Amino acid sequence: MATFTPRTPSKNAVFNRKTVRQPMPVNAQGRNLKVSQFFGENVFQLKDNRNFSPSTQEEVKKILNGEKILTKVVAKEIADVVLDWALDKGATHFCHWFQPLTGSTAEKHDSFLTYDGDRAIEKLSASQLIQGEPDASSFPNGGTRSTFEARGYTSWDLTSPIFIKEGINGKTLCIPTAFISYHGNALDVKTPLLRSLTTLNKYATEFAHLTGFKDVKRVIATCGYEQEYFLIDKSFYFQREDLVMSGRTLLGSLTTRNQQLEDHYFGTIPERVLAFMQDLETELYRVGIPAKTRHNEVAPGQFEIAPIFRDANTATDNNQLLMAILKSTAERHDFVCLFHEKPFAGINGSGKHLNWSMADDQENNFLEPGNTPHENHRFLAMVSIVCEALKRHSVALRAAIASNSNDHRLGANEAPPSIISAFLGDTITSILEKLASGEAYTPEEAAILDTGAEQLAQLLKDNTDRNRTSPFAFTGNKFEFRAVGSNANIGVPLAILNTAVADVLKDSNEYLKEQMANGVDTPSALTALTKKWYANSRQVVFNGDGYSQEWLEEAAKRGLPNLKTTVDALTTFIKKENHEFLVKYGVYKETELQTLYNVWLERYNKHRDIEFRTQKKMIDRYVIPAALRYKRELATLIESAKAFGSAPGCEKTIYDTIEQLTNEVKDQSDTLVQELNKLEAKPETDAAVEISTVLLSRCEKVAELAGAIEDIVPDSIWEIPTYYDLLFVR
């Protein structure tokens, strides 16, 4: 008979779960619709909407292209059409959906219901569509807003699709908006992102014109993100106070088999998880999120979803919506979805690889090498421009991915290190090196991989391998910012990356104009530009093992900053020389950057405070009581042995070990909270430094001691779900 443990009821609940079946959308005949037939059905199409008058259709196109601004007259017609569409879909409320500095989204629902005299009607006015007024003092504002300074504004972002969110008992129209203070300062993620896209468009369009693409009217940043996440059963989740409070386990003993056999990655998706994924994708398709891939990730209980590339603004909104739908759909299947970058110690954490490129309105990808990359002058120039952007602004890019949770993942032999470098692959690097040294590059024949099996199709070898240890890797026709954390809002790294590239593009345009004014032809001018930037930034190019100690030493020799923690990154970033380019191009105001710094630092301290205090509670409530209970059992055995005239055996050794570990874990956890309490009187920056350099290591020591106790205490005594329960019981 299986031993009953305090966790047995939860395990039984998991074993008795039924796979939740959600039917696909069907047509009138009851047949399943193709995805293309219901994709985006809950998204309002602003461009080419046939319910607009012809004049408004033209106005909307010009507004979306940045040629005109929205007028009240056009806004009223749009609001009327949006209302009719929303009501037809069954929506009863609307909200301004925005992204404050909390890292998630916010919304306040208003009913369409109003009165026309004594008659109840539904209405959405132009003003309600365009502008809202949430309380700006109640969201993170870095101390820039007092409680009595409450006024803030949300402003409709016409370039991001309006969508309908479905609840169990109703539907809500969601209007994507920016969020600014009464004085016009950004209090959100979207506003700086939109500014960066405007800046990038300006200089990238000029670059296109200078390099022979005269018909280009607009250039956008394109983005495809890869969202990693963990799924654990709801029954176990709510028994782990650390997961609920902080998103990660603050203690736990690793199982003997986790990911070392490499059998989970791309393995067969468990039926219950697959049912969740299929349900998730249906929900995503209906709100216009083009989910493309799904698979098991490396760690047990870890999975990934990735969409098709979109413009950076829409992709950012889509990712925030995706994360919300992941959570709600997981709950429907009795799972909890975890986005923390390192929810479980000892196994891989989760990232959100941010694939980035630029494309013009003629559908030309600026980072497409073509079949002969050594002859593609614009492509090589763009690669060198990106390398120069990384060199100039590595501190800002490191700060863009900083968080208390991502600190546990970066450089942990599972994710790129905190040193910002670029992987270009052997082919591209060889071309640029030859170019910089004035040597001729001789291309190799296109390599066909010999599989040794005639039954298999021939495979054409790519110009680049994939380097999972690089934080910023070129992967065929885009760069992959691999260091972004799974819980991050991608709008922040996108805004900083866009501006970093725009900064170098501006200088590049000036250089090209100077060259051409001296009679240099376009290919030669681009070649000279490529040489200039690559020669200046080649130290950021590294194609080797980013996990190795050798790279850490080599990076130091090259003068590349290694900002290991969030506190290191933020305190370096706030120095004027490391962020002034963002102010120069109007992407952030100086006051907004100070706000961002204050918010990030405050959130770092608060998250750590929650973690440390939660860990202390769990030690006192679960770990020590379990250890004392086992000590009592061992003491009984020892006394029994003495009563029978026998010398105590291994029970005495175990007793002494438990006693030592219990005393030590109690002392360490008490000291941790005592030291934490002393920080309350210190400034945020000083507190953050001490937390990251002293207290965090003590927290890890407490976790290590608790894990050692868990390894000794019998399973029948241990109350909280173990790593085995969380990661393997499905």
- On the question of pLDDT at 19 being above 90, the answer is no
Distance separating alpha carbons of residues 428 and 656, to the nearest angstrom: 61
Q: What is the pLDDT of residue 499?
A: 98
pLDDT digits (tens, 9 = 90+) for 418-446: 899 999 998 899 999 998 888 888 776 54
Q: What is the pLDDT of residue 460?
A: 46
In this prediction, residues 12-39 reach a mean pLDDT of: 85
In this prediction, residues 542-561 reach a mean pLDDT of: 92
DSSP 3-state of 92: strand
| Contact by Cβ (8 Å): 345, 409 | no
Q: What angle do CA 491, 494, 500 make, to 5 degrees?
A: 145
Residue closest to 470 by CA, chosen among 363, 575, 551, 535: 551
What contacts 303, CB < 8 A, 6 or more positions away? 228, 229, 230, 231, 269, 273, 277, 294, 295, 296, 297
| Contact by Cβ (8 Å): 612, 699 | yes
Residue closest to 479 by CA, chosen among 375, 352, 354, 364: 354
pLDDT digits (tens, 9 = 90+) for 634-681: 999 888 888 887 877 898 999 999 999 999 999 999 999 999 999 999
Q: What is the pLDDT of residue 660?
A: 97
Q: What is the pLDDT of residue 417?
A: 80
- On the question of pLDDT at 482 being above 60, the answer is yes
Using a 10 angstrom Cβ sphere, with 0-12 exposed, 13-18 middle and 19 or more buried, the burial of residue 583 is middle
Residue closest to 204 by CA, chosen among 497, 478, 502, 493: 502
Query: Which CATH number is correct for 604-728, 1.10.287.1040, 2.40.110.10, 3.30.200.20, 1.20.120.1560?
Result: 1.20.120.1560
Q: Which amino acid is at 15?
A: F
pLDDT digits (tens, 9 = 90+) for 205-225: 999 999 999 999 999 999 999
Mean pLDDT of the chain: 91
In this prediction, residues 587-602 reach a mean pLDDT of: 95
In this prediction, residues 92-118 reach a mean pLDDT of: 92
| Contact by Cβ (8 Å): 45, 59 | no
Q: Which residues are bridge partners to 230 per DSSP? A: 302, 338
Q: Which of 106-110, 457-461, 678-682 has the lowest mean pLDDT?
A: 457-461
Q: What is the pLDDT of residue 1?
A: 42
H-helix or E-strand spanning residue 481:
strand 479-481
In this prediction, residues 445-467 reach a mean pLDDT of: 52
Q: Which residues are bridge partners to 360 per DSSP? A: 219
Q: How many CA atoms lie within 13 A of 620 on its CB side?
A: 11
Distance separating alpha carbons of residues 466 and 663, to the nearest angstrom: 48
Q: What is the pLDDT of residue 262?
A: 59
- On the question of pLDDT at 368 being above 90, the answer is yes
Q: Which amino acid is at 75?
A: A
Q: What is the pLDDT of residue 673?
A: 97
Distance separating alpha carbons of residues 575 and 591, to the nearest angstrom: 13
Query: Which CATH number is correct for 39-185, 3.40.50.720, 3.40.50.300, 3.10.20.70, 2.160.20.60?
Result: 3.10.20.70
* Domain positions in the chain: 39-185, 375-446+460-587, 604-728
- On the question of pLDDT at 354 being above 90, the answer is yes
Distance separating alpha carbons of residues 706 and 727, to the nearest angstrom: 19
Q: Which of 23-37, 80-94, 461-475, 548-562 has the lowest mean pLDDT?
A: 461-475
In this prediction, residues 401-407 reach a mean pLDDT of: 95
Q: What is the pLDDT of residue 429?
A: 93
- On the question of pLDDT at 240 being above 60, the answer is yes
Residue closest to 129 by CA, chosen among 39, 56, 66, 46: 46
- On the question of pLDDT at 587 being above 70, the answer is yes
User: Which ranges constitute the DSSP H helices of 308-356?
Assistant: 312-332
Name which residue leads in pLDDT, 297 or 41. 41
Structure confidence at residue 146 as a pLDDT band (50, 70, 90): low
Percent of the chain with pLDDT over 70: 93
Q: What is the pLDDT of residue 412?
A: 64
Structure confidence at residue 67 as a pLDDT band (50, 70, 90): confident
Q: What is the pLDDT of residue 459?
A: 44
Of 33-37, 248-252, 411-415, which one has max mean pLDDT?
Answer: 248-252
Distance separating alpha carbons of residues 543 and 545, to the nearest angstrom: 7
Of 19-33, 48-62, 665-679, which one has max mean pLDDT?
Answer: 665-679
Distance separating alpha carbons of residues 500 and 395, to the nearest angstrom: 11
